[in-house]
Chains A and B, each alone.
Chain A
Amino acid sequence: MNSQIRRVFLVLAALFVALVGMTSYWLWKAPDLEARRGNPTLVVRQVTIERGRIYAADGRTLLAANRRRRVQGRTWYLRRYPAKELVAQTIGYSTLSRSRSGLEESLNDFLTGSNSDLHTVLRRTLDRLEGLTQRGNDVVTTIDARAQQVAMDALAGKCGAAVALEPATGHVLVIASQPSFDPNLVERHFRRAASAPGAPCRPAAPLLDRATQGLYIPGSTFKVVTAAAALDSGTFTPASEFVDKGYCVEYGKKVTNFADQSGPEVFGRVDFATALEHSINSVFCQVGQRLGPLVVLEYAKRFGFYSKPPLETPAGERAASGLYDRGRLLFPSDPNAVDPGRLAFGQERLLVTPLQMAMVAAAIADGGLVMKPTLLDRIVAPDGTIVTEPAPEELGRAVKPETAAELTAMMRRVVESGTGIVAQIPGIPVAGKTGTAETGRRDENDTWFIAFAPADAPRFAIAVALQNQAGTGAQTAAPIAKAILQALLGVNT
């Protein structure tokens, strides 16, 4: 029987070799397995790093911090968000159960200290050699915590967003989106975080960043872009004369003036500046027909339309503005494919984000220059050294400085004596433009206000958009924009 016993042993030994082989196979496959969702080793590696904190511009208000927890002899750093709903969509979340979003996702390398600048690499290596906890870099954002709070309070109970920029630098001072959510709930109570039962819109989508992803019909606020094209191309001046018959003929059909214009229903002979002041659709209809849709859209492109604004949030959380056809961005090659009159006063199939309209206001305020919008003031290493402090960056010139000056004067008249008088701030000149866009459903208008102040030396530009409104932009959005501007200017209300 001995030869049989020997053979059985050899078979068993071969099976055991196969076991070691199989174990080695999975080692060899490790790089592939590591990237898979649900592999806890990767997640745990992330939470054993002391993630950098995220601050508002004051460098004190904490937007994201850590909570320590001892798990089996190891310190885990789990995220907590002291500011709760305040900037929830933009800051995002970093959790064990649902990966990441917002700046938590896009700045992950900095926050975990796995970015590759020399100082961080050196520090990381030293920490590892000494067996110390790896620490990430802190992020100081450009967000003005006080004005942000004012914006969130003013938007509370509504569906909409507000964005305020510093025209000269592109710094995002306010980026508010309502309904919002408490990022602390995402880890364990995701369903609760993702629902906003009281919100007056469907879907309520509190996780959606309406400031950068919300696409709304711009309505009359787009007249600023049309006017920029009209003036900058030299086709019209603020003094150009028009005849307002109360309607404009498009393809043989009448397009009547809209309810949010101020003054009489039919103006008769008016100049261009007065047309913007009172938001007269029939005049802009004529301007659009004269310029043609491609010129208007070309100028829109210069303001940043047709590309995702290069903010630091993840690309998937930003949307490009422009004409949309069946859910897809459309830049027409054939001018006849677009209705130029309706395009000129912001209807047609235009969809824009609040961030994009804030960039339009900021560009006019900054003499025609479009600045790259940024949320990043500086990134600081744990030892206090500055890892990066991005300088303001120009994206390009939208219009000539003279055009910007003319347009500023026209927009001042909107607030002084036109549709936007509610936005007046005592002692400070404000330039603005209202917008009320019909969505085709009664009492569900998209309403807007874009503005900058002080108009003579602009420091702040703003856009406010609301959805599902029964009133006009002047009635609904302008008071909110005014409140945020006052907070930014430090004037008491």
Chain B
Amino acid sequence: MSLRNRELLNLLAVGLITAIGFASVYIARESVVSTASLTYGVFFLVLYLAAHAVVRIALPHADPYLLPLAGLLAAIGVTMIYRIEPDRALRQGIWIVVGLALFSAALLLLRDYRILDGYTYTLGLAAVGLLALPAVPGIGATINGASLWVRLGPVAFQPGELAKILLVVFLAGYLRDNRELLARPVPSAKHFGPLLLVWGAAMLVLVETHDLGGGLLYFSVFLAMLYVATGRWLYVAGGLGLFSLGAWGLYHVVPRVAERVSVWFDPWADPTGSGYQLVQSLYAISSGGLFGTGLGRGVLVAPVGSTYIPFLETDFIYSAIAQELGLAGAGAVVLVYVLFVWRGFRIAMLADDGFSKLLAAGLSAAFGIQAFIIVGGVTGLIPLTGITLPFVSYGGSSVVANFLLVGLLLMISDHVNRDLR
């Protein structure tokens, strides 16, 4: 079977799962099945088929699993959001349309991703600029203690999500150029200069905007790519050392960090105050059991209309999934991320040039690490830092940026597979 037919088949399966998911939420809510419940399923199927058509034209040799996996995650997200707050599901649906439109535009216009290689430093600076945007008075907005947002007219977006991709592109280009020098037993400071400069600027901006989750993500991706480029554990060890030092410093300087860490140590020390979010999240996860309460049958929304867990449809959507779909459903979601990352790393391994390898590995690592940080946070495995669960959480910037990420991976994959043939 050709790659594209395989993708088509996968997408049809995803469409079917989506339709069933929506129908079951609808039944739980209204006790009747109506055609309205199936509209969402059909809508997604049509949307994915359109994206598939674009891939068929632009990237006939691309990996056939990445798009269906992304589509599945997005569908799971919209289903959960619909179950929690129907109005928001509609908006998330619109963002998915926008994301796929930009994805298609990128595929059709940016035929060869390797031209990005020529703009390494420009993109690196652009990333830092994007990260600094929310700190600009007038357009920046602070939501939930972190200044991550930029408001332009009616649209608010998080430039950090896009900066994530640009930073990976910068690191891929830079590390490809300097990997031999960095891999030397005693690399000179000269070669680290630009790297540390851009890096330091990004970190400074993150501390300024209080985006702890973002900081953790970028730092981990940086270490992963540095290791892939140089193969030296020493860098990883040194990086972790620096990270621990930085974390220790932040713990003593930023009260928010200290609070997050103490909640992580003992969520029940203040179950109605600082520990409330996490404690409620753990209640939700634990009450799900093996197979969950069923979609729409969990205990997520109080009679007054608010959710028991604040930010349920953004940061804590995994907790909602764990309650209503159980360990089986939550485990399946985690498995989808593993599969996605596996396909991404596979592209990196098959690629024959350093830039493609580093880019594919960096994008896949960023995707996986982001999922780990937030799921680890809501399950209490690591201290909680607010960040979106890629494709699943409610949030336009995240959805759009991640579709662009998938687009880039598909472009690399198409290029790689074309060469292999």
Residue B271 lies at the interface, judged by CB distance under 8 Å to chain A: yes
A20 touches B289 (CB 8 A): no
Query: Residue A40 contacts which of B285, B308, B330, B358 (CB distance < 8 angstroms)?
Result: B308
A9 touches B327 (CB 8 A): no
Who on chain B is nearest to A10 by CB?
B345
Stretch at the interface among A27-35, A146-154, A178-186: A27-35
Given contacts A9-B341, A16-B338, A39 and B283 within 8 Å (CB-CB): yes
Residue B303 lies at the interface, judged by CB distance under 8 Å to chain A: yes
Residue A266 lies at the interface, judged by CB distance under 8 Å to chain B: no
Given contacts A22-B381, A23-B327, A38 and B279 within 8 Å (CB-CB): yes
Residue B122 lies at the interface, judged by CB distance under 8 Å to chain A: no
- Contact partners of A13 in chain B: CB under 8 A: 338, 341-342
A4 touches B286 (CB 8 A): no
Query: Residue B287 contacts which of A4, A19, A34, A38 (CB distance < 8 angstroms)?
Result: A34
Minimal beta-carbon separation of A184 from chain B (angstroms): 16
A38 touches B271 (CB 8 A): yes
For the complex, what is the distance from the CA of A253 to the CA of B287, rounded to whole Å?
70
Stretch at the interface among B7-15, B222-230, B238-246: B222-230
Given contacts A19-B379, A22-B380, A73-B29, A3 and B231 within 8 Å (CB-CB): yes
Within 8 A of B (CB), among A18-54: 18-20, 22-24, 26-27, 29-30, 33-34, 36, 38-41, 44
Residue A12 lies at the interface, judged by CB distance under 8 Å to chain B: yes
- Contact partners of A69 in chain B: CB under 8 A: 303
Query: Residue B361 contacts which of A3, A5, A39, A78 (CB distance < 8 angstroms)?
Result: A5
Minimal beta-carbon separation of B286 from chain A (angstroms): 4
For the complex, what is the distance from the CA of A95 to the CA of B301, rounded to whole Å?
17
For the complex, what is the distance from the CA of A78 to the CA of B330, rounded to whole Å?
32
Minimal beta-carbon separation of B108 from chain A (angstroms): 29
Residue A2 lies at the interface, judged by CB distance under 8 Å to chain B: yes
Query: Residue B345 contacts which of A5, A22, A34, A73 (CB distance < 8 angstroms)?
Result: A5
Who on chain A is nearest to B297 by CB?
A74
B327 touches A8 (CB 8 A): no
Residue B129 lies at the interface, judged by CB distance under 8 Å to chain A: no
A30 touches B287 (CB 8 A): yes
Residue B368 lies at the interface, judged by CB distance under 8 Å to chain A: yes
Residue A337 lies at the interface, judged by CB distance under 8 Å to chain B: no
Given contacts A23-B327, A27-B288, A73 and B302 within 8 Å (CB-CB): no
Minimal beta-carbon separation of A127 from chain B (angstroms): 17
- Contact partners of B372 in chain A: CB under 8 A: 12, 15-16, 19
Who on chain B is nearest to A38 by CB?
B271
For the complex, what is the distance from the CA of A7 to the CA of B272, rounded to whole Å?
42
B348 touches A5 (CB 8 A): yes
Residue B59 lies at the interface, judged by CB distance under 8 Å to chain A: no
Who on chain B is nearest to A30 by CB?
B286
Residue B260 lies at the interface, judged by CB distance under 8 Å to chain A: no
Max chain B Cβ within 10 angstroms of own Cβ: one of A4, A5, A38, A44: A5
B290 touches A27 (CB 8 A): yes
Query: Residue A33 contacts which of B283, B327, B341, B361 (CB distance < 8 angstroms)?
Result: B283
Residues of B within 8 A of A (CB): 28-31, 224, 227-229, 231, 268, 271-272, 279-280, 282-290, 296-297, 299, 301-303, 308, 322, 327, 330-331, 334, 337-338, 341-342, 345, 348-349, 354, 357-358, 361, 365, 368-369, 372, 375-376, 379-381
Rank and list the top 6 A-B pairs by shortest CB-CB distance, nearest first. A73-B29, A30-B286, A41-B287, A22-B379, A26-B286, A22-B381
Residues of A within 8 A of B (CB): 1-9, 12-13, 15-16, 18-20, 22-24, 26-27, 29-30, 33-34, 36, 38-41, 44, 69, 71-74, 76, 78, 96
